[in-house]
Copies of this chain bind each other. A is one copy, B any other.
Amino acid sequence: MTSSLPLAPSLREMKEAHRRIIPFIHRTPVLSCQGINRVVDAEIWFKCENMQKVGAFKARGATNAVRSLDPALWHLGVATHSSGNHAQALSWAAKLAGIDAHIVMPSNSNRVKVEAVKGYGGEITFCEPTLESRETTLVSVLKRTGATEIHPYNNLNIIAGQATAAIELLEEQEDLELVMAPVGGGGLLSGTALACHYLAPEVRVIAAEPAQADDAFRSFNQRRFIPSVNPDTIADGLRTSLGSLTFPIILTYVDRVVTVREESIITAMRLLWERMKVVVEPSAAVPLAVLLEDHEAFRGKRIGIILSGGNADLEQLPWQS
At the interface, yes or no: A121 with Cβ under 8 Å from chain B?
A: no
Instruction: Find out whether the CB atom of A315 lies under 8 angstroms from the CB atom of B320.
Output: yes
Q: Which of B31, B314, B317 contacts A51 (CB 8 A)?
A: B31
Q: A29-B29, A29-B31, A314-B270 are in contact. Are A55 and B277 (CB under 8 A)?
A: yes
Centre residue among A33, A277, A315 by max chain B CB count within 10 A: A277
Kindly list chain B residues whose C-beta atoms are within 8 Å of the C-beta of A76.
Answer: none
At the interface, yes or no: A304 with Cβ under 8 Å from chain B?
A: no
Expressed in whole angstroms, the minimum distance between the Cβ of A113 and any Cβ of chain B is 12
Kindly list chain B residues whose C-beta atoms are within 8 Å of the C-beta of A319.
Answer: 314-315
Chain A interfacial positions (CB closer than 8 Å to B): 29, 31, 33, 48, 50-51, 55, 270, 273-274, 276-280, 310, 314-315, 317, 319-320
Kindly list chain B residues whose C-beta atoms are within 8 Å of the C-beta of A276.
Answer: 51
Centre residue among A270, A273, A319 by max chain B CB count within 10 A: A273
Kindly list chain B residues whose C-beta atoms are within 8 Å of the C-beta of A280.
Answer: 277
Main SS class of interface, A: loop
5 closest pairs, A vs B, by CB? Answer: A277-B310, A277-B279, A50-B277, A51-B277, A273-B279
Kindly list chain B residues whose C-beta atoms are within 8 Å of the C-beta of A50.
Answer: 277
Task: Give Cα A29 to B310, complex, Å.
Answer: 18
Task: Give Cα A315 to B316, complex, Å.
Answer: 10
Task: Give Cα A219 to B66, complex, Å.
Answer: 56
Instruction: Find out whether the CB atom of B274 lies under 8 angstroms from the CB atom of A314.
Output: yes
**Which chain B residue shows the least CB distance to A32?**
B26
Q: Could you jot down 26 A-B contacts, CB within 8 Å? A: A29-B29, A29-B31, A31-B51, A33-B51, A48-B277, A50-B277, A51-B276, A51-B277, A55-B277, A270-B314, A273-B279, A273-B314, A274-B279, A274-B314, A277-B278, A277-B279, A277-B280, A277-B310, A278-B278, A278-B279, A279-B279, A314-B317, A314-B319, A315-B319, A315-B320, A317-B317
Kindly list chain B residues whose C-beta atoms are within 8 Å of the C-beta of A279.
Answer: 273-274, 277-279
Task: Give Cα A55 to B276, complex, Å.
Answer: 9
**Which chain B residue shows the least CB distance to A276?**
B51
Task: Give Cα A279 to B48, complex, Å.
Answer: 14
Task: Give Cα A278 to B310, complex, Å.
Answer: 9
**Which chain B residue shows the least CB distance to A51?**
B277
Expressed in whole angstroms, the minimum distance between the Cβ of A21 and any Cβ of chain B is 15
Expressed in whole angstroms, the minimum distance between the Cβ of A52 and any Cβ of chain B is 9
